[in-house]
Protein backbone atom coordinates (compact mmCIF):
# COMPACT_ATOMS: atom_id res chain seq x y z
CA UNK A 1 0.00 0.00 0.00
CA UNK A 2 1.40 3.41 -0.97
CA UNK A 3 1.95 6.12 1.61
CA UNK A 4 -0.81 8.24 0.06
CA UNK A 5 -3.31 5.37 0.12
CA UNK A 6 -2.28 4.59 3.68
CA UNK A 7 -2.80 8.20 4.72
CA UNK A 8 -6.21 8.32 3.06
CA UNK A 9 -7.27 5.09 4.78
CA UNK A 10 -5.98 6.31 8.12
CA UNK A 11 -7.84 9.61 7.68
CA UNK A 12 -11.06 7.78 6.79
CA UNK A 13 -10.72 5.55 9.84
CA UNK A 14 -10.04 8.52 12.07
CA UNK A 15 -13.08 10.32 10.67
CA UNK A 16 -15.22 7.24 11.26
CA UNK A 17 -13.89 7.00 14.80
CA UNK A 18 -14.66 10.67 15.45
CA UNK A 19 -18.19 10.21 14.14
CA UNK A 20 -18.64 7.11 16.27
CA UNK A 21 -17.30 8.91 19.34
CA UNK A 22 -19.76 11.73 18.77
CA UNK A 23 -22.64 9.28 18.48
CA UNK A 24 -21.37 7.31 21.48
CA UNK A 25 -21.38 10.36 23.73
CA UNK A 26 -24.59 11.86 22.36
CA UNK A 27 -26.68 8.93 21.15
CA UNK A 28 -29.18 9.35 23.96
CA UNK A 29 -29.71 12.98 22.89
CA UNK A 30 -30.17 11.86 19.29
CA UNK A 31 -32.61 9.23 20.50
CA UNK A 32 -34.47 11.81 22.56
CA UNK A 33 -34.93 14.12 19.58
CA UNK A 34 -35.65 11.57 16.86
CA UNK A 35 -37.81 9.24 18.93
CA UNK A 36 -39.44 12.20 20.65
CA UNK A 37 -40.58 13.46 17.25
CA UNK A 38 -41.95 10.00 16.46
CA UNK A 39 -44.12 9.94 19.59
CA UNK A 40 -45.11 13.61 19.29
CA UNK A 41 -46.55 13.43 15.77
CA UNK A 42 -49.67 11.44 16.84
CA UNK A 43 -50.49 14.33 19.21
CA UNK A 44 -49.87 16.82 16.43
CA UNK A 45 -52.63 15.24 14.32
CA UNK A 46 -55.51 16.52 16.50
CA UNK A 47 -53.81 19.91 16.78
CA UNK A 48 -53.68 20.20 13.00
CA UNK A 49 -57.34 19.18 12.74
CA UNK A 50 -58.35 21.75 15.35
CA UNK A 51 -56.63 24.53 13.44
CA UNK A 52 -58.17 23.48 10.15
CA UNK A 53 -55.10 21.93 8.53
CA UNK A 54 -57.02 18.79 7.68
CA UNK A 55 -54.79 17.59 4.87
CA UNK A 56 -51.74 17.42 7.13
CA UNK A 57 -53.76 16.00 10.00
CA UNK A 58 -55.32 13.26 7.90
CA UNK A 59 -51.89 12.38 6.54
CA UNK A 60 -50.65 11.71 10.07
CA UNK A 61 -53.71 9.60 10.86
CA UNK A 62 -53.06 7.59 7.71
CA UNK A 63 -49.35 7.20 8.44
CA UNK A 64 -49.85 5.97 12.00
CA UNK A 65 -52.77 3.72 11.02
CA UNK A 66 -50.14 1.18 9.94
CA UNK A 67 -48.82 1.06 13.52
CA UNK A 68 -52.09 1.00 15.46
CA UNK A 69 -55.74 -0.03 15.20
CA UNK A 70 -56.76 3.55 16.14
CA UNK A 71 -60.11 2.45 17.57
CA UNK A 72 -61.66 5.69 18.87
CA UNK A 73 -63.23 4.14 21.97
CA UNK A 74 -59.68 3.18 23.02
CA UNK A 75 -58.09 6.51 22.13
CA UNK A 76 -57.54 9.87 23.79
CA UNK A 77 -59.25 12.97 22.38
CA UNK A 78 -58.03 16.56 22.47
CA UNK A 79 -60.00 19.81 22.19
CA UNK A 80 -63.32 18.18 23.03
CA UNK A 81 -65.67 17.98 25.97
CA UNK A 82 -64.17 14.68 27.20
CA UNK A 83 -60.78 12.99 27.22
CA UNK A 84 -62.24 9.61 26.16
CA UNK A 85 -65.59 8.46 24.79
CA UNK A 86 -67.53 5.24 25.20
CA UNK A 87 -68.43 3.00 22.28
CA UNK A 88 -72.11 4.10 22.28
CA UNK A 89 -70.98 7.75 22.16
CA UNK A 90 -68.71 6.99 19.20
CA UNK A 91 -71.48 5.08 17.45
CA UNK A 92 -73.98 7.90 17.89
CA UNK A 93 -71.54 10.40 16.42
CA UNK A 94 -70.21 8.19 13.64
CA UNK A 95 -72.01 5.02 12.61
CA UNK A 96 -74.00 2.49 14.60
CA UNK A 97 -71.58 -0.28 13.80
CA UNK A 98 -69.35 -2.78 15.54
CA UNK A 99 -67.09 -3.17 12.51
CA UNK A 100 -63.61 -2.19 13.70
CA UNK A 101 -62.54 -1.21 10.18
CA UNK A 102 -65.31 1.39 10.13
CA UNK A 103 -64.96 2.48 13.74
CA UNK A 104 -61.23 3.18 13.34
CA UNK A 105 -62.01 5.68 10.59
CA UNK A 106 -63.65 8.06 13.07
CA UNK A 107 -61.06 10.70 13.98
CA UNK A 108 -63.42 13.11 15.76
CA UNK A 109 -65.36 16.28 15.09
CA UNK A 110 -65.38 19.88 16.34
CA UNK A 111 -67.74 19.02 19.19
CA UNK A 112 -66.04 15.88 20.50
CA UNK A 113 -62.52 16.95 19.64
CA UNK A 114 -59.97 14.96 17.67
CA UNK A 115 -58.38 11.68 18.63
CA UNK A 116 -54.68 11.16 19.04
CA UNK A 117 -53.36 9.23 16.03
CA UNK A 118 -52.77 6.06 18.00
CA UNK A 119 -54.55 4.28 20.82
CA UNK A 120 -54.09 4.75 24.54
CA UNK A 121 -52.01 1.57 24.77
CA UNK A 122 -49.63 2.83 22.08
CA UNK A 123 -49.35 6.19 23.83
CA UNK A 124 -48.42 4.45 27.08
CA UNK A 125 -46.04 1.95 25.48
CA UNK A 126 -44.11 4.23 23.14
CA UNK A 127 -44.05 7.25 25.44
CA UNK A 128 -42.74 5.22 28.37
CA UNK A 129 -39.79 4.06 26.25
CA UNK A 130 -38.87 7.70 25.65
CA UNK A 131 -39.35 8.76 29.27
CA UNK A 132 -37.52 5.83 30.85
CA UNK A 133 -34.80 5.94 28.20
CA UNK A 134 -33.91 9.48 29.20
CA UNK A 135 -34.14 8.57 32.88
CA UNK A 136 -32.00 5.47 32.44
CA UNK A 137 -29.02 7.20 30.84
CA UNK A 138 -27.78 9.26 33.82
CA UNK A 139 -28.39 6.27 36.12
CA UNK A 140 -26.93 3.60 33.85
CA UNK A 141 -23.70 3.15 35.84
CA UNK A 142 -25.63 2.52 39.05
CA UNK A 143 -28.23 0.05 37.75
CA UNK A 144 -27.65 -3.69 37.46
CA UNK A 145 -28.45 -5.23 34.10
CA UNK A 146 -31.90 -6.67 33.69
CA UNK A 147 -31.67 -10.39 32.84
CA UNK A 148 -33.74 -11.85 30.03
CA UNK A 149 -36.17 -13.46 32.44
CA UNK A 150 -36.68 -10.02 33.99
CA UNK A 151 -37.58 -8.63 30.56
CA UNK A 152 -40.14 -11.41 30.15
CA UNK A 153 -41.71 -10.50 33.47
CA UNK A 154 -42.07 -6.87 32.40
CA UNK A 155 -43.57 -7.83 29.03
CA UNK A 156 -45.88 -10.53 30.35
CA UNK A 157 -48.63 -8.20 31.66
CA UNK A 158 -49.05 -6.60 28.23
CA UNK A 159 -49.01 -9.99 26.53
CA UNK A 160 -51.76 -11.26 28.84
CA UNK A 161 -53.84 -8.10 28.64
CA UNK A 162 -53.48 -7.73 24.88
CA UNK A 163 -54.28 -11.41 24.27
CA UNK A 164 -57.34 -11.17 26.50
CA UNK A 165 -58.56 -8.16 24.52
CA UNK A 166 -57.91 -9.95 21.24
CA UNK A 167 -59.86 -13.04 22.28
CA UNK A 168 -62.65 -10.87 23.67
CA UNK A 169 -62.92 -8.89 20.44
CA UNK A 170 -63.62 -12.09 18.50
CA UNK A 171 -67.10 -11.87 20.04
CA UNK A 172 -67.44 -8.40 18.50
CA UNK A 173 -66.27 -4.96 19.53
CA UNK A 174 -68.11 -4.01 22.70
CA UNK A 175 -69.54 -7.49 23.21
CA UNK A 176 -66.72 -9.61 24.62
CA UNK A 177 -65.91 -10.51 28.20
CA UNK A 178 -63.38 -7.66 28.47
CA UNK A 179 -66.08 -5.09 27.73
CA UNK A 180 -68.26 -6.10 30.67
CA UNK A 181 -65.52 -7.56 32.93
CA UNK A 182 -68.20 -9.45 34.83
CA UNK A 183 -65.50 -11.83 36.02
CA UNK A 184 -63.75 -8.92 37.75
CA UNK A 185 -66.99 -7.63 39.24
CA UNK A 186 -67.60 -11.07 40.75
CA UNK A 187 -64.06 -11.28 42.10
CA UNK A 188 -64.32 -7.87 43.76
CA UNK A 189 -67.98 -8.28 44.78
CA UNK A 190 -68.82 -5.07 42.84
CA UNK A 191 -66.87 -3.04 45.37
CA UNK A 192 -65.99 -0.39 42.77
CA UNK A 193 -68.22 1.92 40.72
CA UNK A 194 -69.98 0.30 37.71
CA UNK A 195 -68.01 2.48 35.30
CA UNK A 196 -64.81 0.79 36.48
CA UNK A 197 -65.88 -2.56 35.09
CA UNK A 198 -67.53 -1.60 31.80
CA UNK A 199 -66.00 -0.36 28.56
CA UNK A 200 -62.73 1.35 27.76
CA UNK A 201 -63.23 4.95 28.91
CA UNK A 202 -60.66 6.61 31.14
CA UNK A 203 -60.89 5.27 34.71
CA UNK A 204 -62.15 1.85 33.66
CA UNK A 205 -60.24 -1.32 34.46
CA UNK A 206 -59.40 -1.75 30.78
CA UNK A 207 -57.97 1.74 30.42
CA UNK A 208 -55.89 1.40 33.58
CA UNK A 209 -54.52 -1.97 32.47
CA UNK A 210 -53.52 -0.59 29.07
CA UNK A 211 -51.77 2.31 30.78
CA UNK A 212 -49.90 0.18 33.33
CA UNK A 213 -48.92 -2.62 30.95
CA UNK A 214 -47.57 -0.05 28.51
CA UNK A 215 -45.45 1.47 31.27
CA UNK A 216 -44.14 -1.95 32.31
CA UNK A 217 -43.28 -2.64 28.67
CA UNK A 218 -41.30 0.60 28.40
CA UNK A 219 -39.38 0.01 31.64
CA UNK A 220 -38.49 -3.55 30.70
CA UNK A 221 -37.40 -2.76 27.16
CA UNK A 222 -35.21 0.19 28.17
CA UNK A 223 -33.66 -1.56 31.17
CA UNK A 224 -32.82 -4.66 29.13
CA UNK A 225 -31.91 -3.29 25.69
CA UNK A 226 -30.35 0.13 26.24
CA UNK A 227 -27.20 -1.18 28.00
CA UNK A 228 -26.49 -3.28 24.89
CA UNK A 229 -26.91 -0.23 22.67
CA UNK A 230 -24.47 1.71 24.85
CA UNK A 231 -22.00 -1.20 24.80
CA UNK A 232 -22.20 -1.43 21.01
CA UNK A 233 -21.07 2.17 20.55
CA UNK A 234 -18.21 1.67 22.99
CA UNK A 235 -17.08 -1.51 21.22
CA UNK A 236 -17.16 0.24 17.86
CA UNK A 237 -15.08 3.08 19.28
CA UNK A 238 -12.44 0.65 20.59
CA UNK A 239 -12.37 -1.16 17.23
CA UNK A 240 -11.89 2.09 15.33
CA UNK A 241 -9.09 3.05 17.70
CA UNK A 242 -7.23 -0.21 17.11
CA UNK A 243 -7.65 0.00 13.34
CA UNK A 244 -6.40 3.58 13.32
CA UNK A 245 -3.33 2.77 15.41
CA UNK A 246 -1.99 -0.18 13.46
CA UNK A 247 -3.69 -3.41 12.44
CA UNK A 248 -4.59 -3.13 8.73
CA UNK A 249 -2.35 -0.14 7.92
CA UNK A 250 1.34 -0.91 7.28
Neighbour count for residue 118 (Cβ, 10 Å): 26
The answer to whether 119 touches 202, Cβ cutoff 8 Å, is no
* Integer-rounded Cα radius of gyration of the chain: 24
**Phi-psi sector, 98: left (phi>0), alpha (psi -120 to 50), beta:** alpha
pLDDT for residue 108 is more than 70: yes
Domain segments of the chain as ranges: 8-245
> Using a CB cutoff of 8 Å and minimum separation of 24, what contacts does 239-246 make?
240/13, 240/16, 240/17, 240/20, 241/17, 243/13, 244/10, 244/13, 244/14, 244/17
pLDDT for residue 11 is more than 90: no
Q: Look at strands 113-115 and 108-109 and give their pairing.
A: antiparallel
What is the Cα 141 distance to its own chain's centre? 25
pLDDT for position 250: 46
pLDDT for residue 190 is more than 90: yes
pLDDT for residue 24 is more than 90: no
pTM: 0.85
Amino acid sequence: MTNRASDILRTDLQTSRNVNQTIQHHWIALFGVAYGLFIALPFLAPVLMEFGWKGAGNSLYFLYSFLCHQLPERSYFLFGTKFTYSLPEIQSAWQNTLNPMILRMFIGNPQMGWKVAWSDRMVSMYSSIWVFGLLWYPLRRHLPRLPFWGLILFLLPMALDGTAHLISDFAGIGQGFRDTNLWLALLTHNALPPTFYVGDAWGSFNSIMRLLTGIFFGIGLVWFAFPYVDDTFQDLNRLMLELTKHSIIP
